[in-house]
Amino acid sequence: MSSTLPTGFLHLPISSVLTTWIIIVPLVVSILEWKPMFILSYDPFVSKWAQYWRFVLFQLQFQNESQVMLCVTLIVFSFKNLERVFGSIKYLRIVCLLFLYNMVAITLLTWSAYTLLGINIFVPAGPFGMVFGLLYAHWKYTPILYKFELNFGGLIKIRSSNEDFKLVFTNDFLTSLLAFQLLISEGLISSVIVSVVGYFIGSLLFNGLLPGLNARISLMELVYNKITAKKSRTTTTRERTTVDEDEQADQSDEREDTPARTLSAQILDTFRR
């Protein structure tokens, strides 16, 4: 048996759906010109117009292409391994919990800041909190595979020991770089606030300080099992149809390869019998 992990999204349905969602939803929203519906700030949307539904919608899509690209890259190269660690059902439960906890946290944060401190926080559209919650899980559960260092040689010396200055990195360097770019994609305040909140919620959830990580949600499991079972039956039917078509093609080729018998050969066979 090979120890090599399957490539792409093979056996990773939740990661596949998340990636498709991150790409397709912003495209549809942009075409329909619905982007303003996903903007969130307590004033005026909530305080004046009572548009509480914005707390549900703001995490569903990013507003620009660079954020979509960064998020998809993080899912493909880093977060899809979490589905292999937890399993598809638990990974789906984690994503849903991060969505709900971040929605509650941002609701309380914006209300408290505006009501108690008079500060109106702009919340950028996009699942920043979910991404950074998964980032915490990635750093917690993914082992370090290798390290590499940048040695500046004689250019920079450490005065105390007169040694060469070195920077040591791990295989998480690319993940950290992508996450940092996403962190500051909406400036040094807005996206940083929601990302830090999401990372904090991830730390609470994966350290057992928030409930739900190991709970079973019967309805979710029932829907997931029905969808995967239907997909499995469809795949099996396609494979069986393909095999039957290949067998029919082989039999047809064999018939075509058999030379045609002449009339005289057929008459001689009659007398032989």
Q: How much is the pLDDT for 1?
A: 46
Which of the residue ranges 43-52, 157-166, 179-188, 251-260 would you say has the lowest mean pLDDT? 251-260
CB-neighbour burial class of residue 128 (10 A; exposed 0-12, middle 13-18, buried 19+): buried
The candidate with the shortest Cα–Cα distance to 131, out of 222, 44, 73, 195, is: 195
What is the gyration radius of the CA atoms in the chain, in angstroms?
29
Residue 170: its pLDDT value, please?
86
Residue 191: what pLDDT?
93
Find out whether 120 and 113 touch, Cβ atoms under 8 Å. Answer: yes
pLDDT digits (tens, 9 = 90+) for 110-149: 999 999 999 999 999 999 999 999 999 999 998 888 887 8
Distance CA 273, CA 266 (A): 11
Mean pLDDT of the chain: 83
b/e string for 130-150 if b means 16 or more Cβ within 10 A?
bbbbbbbbbbeebeeeeeeee
- Which residues, other chains included, contact 124 with Cβ-Cβ below 8 Å and sequence gap of 6+? 58, 63, 185, 186, 190, 191, 194
With a cut of 60, say whether residue 266 has pLDDT above it.
no
Determine the 3-state secondary structure of 227 from DSSP.
helix
This prediction has a pTM of 0.80
- Give the pLDDT band (50/70/90) at residue 91: very high
Counting residues of the chain whose pLDDT is more than 70, the rounded percentage is 76
Average pLDDT over residues 72-85: 92
